[in-house]
Amino acid sequence: MKSDGIVDWEREAPQWPALLGAARGPGPAVAPADDVLWRVYGPLLRSNVTQASFVIGQMGQSLDGRIATAGGQSHYINGPAAILHLHRLRALVDAVVIGVGTAIADDPQLTVRHVTGPQPARVVIDPKGRLPASARVLEPDGARRIVIGTGAAPAVAGVEHMRLSPAGDGLAPADIIGALRSAGLNRILIEGGGQTVSRFLEAGALDRLHVMVSSMVIGSGPVGLSFGGIKDLKDAVRPRVVTYALPGGDTLFDCALEKE
Ligand SMILES: NC(=O)c1ccc[n+]([C@@H]2O[C@H](COP(=O)([O-])OP(=O)(O)OC[C@H]3O[C@@H](n4cnc5c(N)ncnc54)[C@H](OP(=O)(O)O)[C@@H]3O)[C@@H](O)[C@H]2O)c1
C-alpha cells in the first residue's frame, strides 16, 4: 500500500475544469503525472468507457468500519473535504446508484452542490417497490431519475423504470450495470449503503472502491462492507491501494479492483 498526500483539496481546485472536461470529452484524458487530483480522479476518465462501463463504489466509515451509530445517526462521520470528494465523484459520473435502504433512511438528494458540474442520473435499486413517491431523489429538476425494480413502475411522472428479473437472492449487479449501459449510462457511482456496495464488491462488479475512513471509533452500529464469509485468507479481496490524507483527518483508501 502506498501513501500519498493531498496537496490541493480546496473547493475551487484549478484542475477541476480540466477534469470535468475530460469526463465529458471524446478523447483520452492526458493526466499530468505528478498531480494528486488527477491521480485520484483520472481512473474514472478512461477513454474506452463507451465500450465498457466503469463502476466505482464508495463508503464513508469510522476506524471500526461503522457507517452509522446504533441509533441510525450517520451525519457526519466524515468531514467537509470528504463531502467535497463525494460531490466530485457525482459530477464525474453518468449515474449515481443507491439502495432503497439509503433512500428511506437518509432521503438524500444525490445532486452535485459543492462543486460545479453536471447532475448525474439518480438511480434507486428498489426490488420490492418500497421507495416513497415523495423521495427527494425523484424530484423533477432536469436530471434523469431511474428506479430499478422487479414489479410495477413507480407512479411518479417522468421517472424511468427498469424491470429486472431476480437472480439468486437479489438482482445481479451485472444485470444492473447492463441495464444502465443500455440507457447510455456508462460511468457509474455506487454510493451506498453498505448492502448495496457490498453486493457489487462481492460480485466482482466494481472497478474501483473509495473507502473514506474518519478518525473516530463508534463502537457499535451497522458496518459498511460485509458479505458472505471466506474460509481462507487467500480468497480475500485484495485491491491495489493508495491512501490520501485529507484535511480534517479523513483518509481516503483508493482501491483499484480492475484487472491490470
Ligand atoms: N457512509 C456512507 O458512505 C453511506 C452511504 C450511503 C448510505 N449510508 C448509510 O447506509 C444505511 C443504509 O444502508 P443499507 O445497507 O441498510 O441499505 P442500502 O444498501 O441503501 O439498501 C439496501 C436495499 O436495497 C435493495 N438492494 C440493493 N441492491 C440490491 C440488489 N443487488 N438486489 C436486490 N436488492 C437490492 C434491497 O432492498 P429490499 O430490502 O427492499 O429488497 C436492500 O435491502 C443508512 O444508515 C445510510 O445512512 C452510508
User: Mind listing the pLDDT tens digit for each residue in 123-162?
Assistant: 999 999 999 999 999 999 999 999 999 988 788 999 999 9
State in Å: Cα 104 to ligand 1 middle.
Answer: 9
Does residue 246 form part of some domain? no
Q: By alpha-carbon position, which residue is closest to atom 17 of ligand 1?
A: 101
From ligand 1's centre to the CA of 72, what distance in Å?
13
Element (DSSP H or E) covering residue 17: helix 16-24
How many domains are contained in the chain?
A: 1
Is position 260 within any domain? no
Q: What is the mean pLDDT of residues 230-250?
A: 93
CATH number assigned to the domain comprising residue 176:
3.40.430.10
Question: Do residues 102 and 196 touch, judged by C-beta distance below 8 A?
Answer: yes
**Top mutation candidate among 126, 196, 199, 206 for ligand 1, by most atoms within 8 Å of CB:** 196
Asked if residue 129 belongs to a domain, the reply is yes
Residue 255 maps to a domain:
no
Dihedral sign from CA coordinates of 24, 30, 35, 40: positive
pLDDT at 190 over 70: yes
* 24-75 confidence digits (pLDDT tens): 876 555 667 678 899 999 989 876 666 789 999 999 999 999 999 999 888 8
In angstroms, what is the span from residue 37 Cα to ligand 1's centroid?
A: 29
Q: Please determine, for residue 81, whether its predicted confidence score (pLDDT) is greater than 90.
A: yes
Mutate to test the pocket of ligand 1, among 62, 66, 74 (most ligand atoms within 8 A of CB): 74
159 assigned to some structural domain: yes
7 vs 135, residue with greater confidence: 135
Does residue 210 lie within any of the structural domains?
no
Nearest CA to ligand 1 atom 33: 170
**What residues does ligand 1 touch, defined as CB less than 6 Å away?**
59-61, 67-68, 72, 74, 98-102, 105-106, 125, 127-128, 130, 170-171, 173, 191-196, 199
208: which residues sit within 8 A by CB, 6+ positions away?
A: 43, 44, 54, 55, 56, 57, 254, 255, 256, 257, 258
Is residue 84 in a domain?
Answer: yes
* The residue type at 49: V
53 alpha carbon – ligand 1 mean position (Å): 22
Q: In the numeric block, which cell numbers belong to residue 123?
A: 438511480
- Confirm whether 36 is domain-assigned: no
Q: b/e for 34-68, b at 16 or more Cβ within 10 A?
A: ebbbbbbbbbbbeeebeeebbbbbbbbbbeebbbb
Atom from ligand 1 closest to the CA of residue 72: 45
Q: Distance from the CA of 220 to the center of ligand 1, in angstroms?
A: 18
Enclosing domain of residue 85: 54-63+80-198
How many angstroms is it from 47 CA to the middle of ligand 1? Answer: 30
- pLDDT for position 5: 56
Which residues, including other chains, have CB under 8 Å from residue 181's CB and lie 6 or more apart?
A: 53
